[in-house]
Amino acid sequence: MTTATTSPDQVIYLDHQATTPVDPRVLDAMLPYLTTAYGNPSSPHAYGRAADDAVRAARRQLRQLIGASADTEIIAEHGEPGHAGQRLADPAPARQPQHHHPRH
């Protein structure tokens, strides 16, 4: 939020636990996949295969950037707070059983 005396360049946002701004380079790279080239990378149709290719390319770029030797060293988490810390503490944890919720 800016006021008459504060410009966006002067604001320091400290609540990155709630949200984080996207770097313009990341936005440029992701924009096609958020607008027109979207697809489920697990699906066998053309949109899914294109999305899977994009995910594989991104993993390859990340692997090269951080010096990982294989894609299996890159673990994508979906935001549950405990998982990331667990992966950092033990990069090869035993597979936990899936929790199935009873149907009501």
Per-residue pLDDT tens listing for the chain (104 residues): 555 666 767 778 777 777 788 889 989 999 998 898 889 999 999 999 999 999 899 888 888 988 888 766 677 666 655 555 555 555 555 555 555 555 54
Write down the pLDDT at residue 19. 78
Write down the pLDDT at residue 87. 52
Please state, in angstroms and rounded to a whole number, the distance separating the CA atoms of residues 93 and 11.
Answer: 41
- Asked whether residue 51 is domain-assigned, the answer is yes
Please state, in angstroms and rounded to a whole number, the distance separating the CA atoms of residues 90 and 74.
Answer: 13
- Asked whether residue 46 is domain-assigned, the answer is yes
Write down the pLDDT at residue 11. 78
- Asked whether residue 40 is domain-assigned, the answer is yes
Which residue range is the domain that position 61 belongs to? 35-74
Q: Which residue type sits at 80?
A: E
Write down the pLDDT at residue 46. 93
- Asked whether residue 1 is domain-assigned, the answer is no
Domain total of the chain: 1
**Cα-to-chain-centroid distance, residue 43:** 19
- Cβ contact 47:39 at 8 Å: yes
- Asked whether residue 104 is domain-assigned, the answer is no
- Asked whether residue 82 is domain-assigned, the answer is no
- Asked whether residue 16 is domain-assigned, the answer is no
- Asked whether residue 14 is domain-assigned, the answer is no
Please state, in angstroms and rounded to a whole number, the distance separating the CA atoms of residues 24 and 28.
Answer: 6
Q: Report residue 29 as tokens.
A: 């790279």
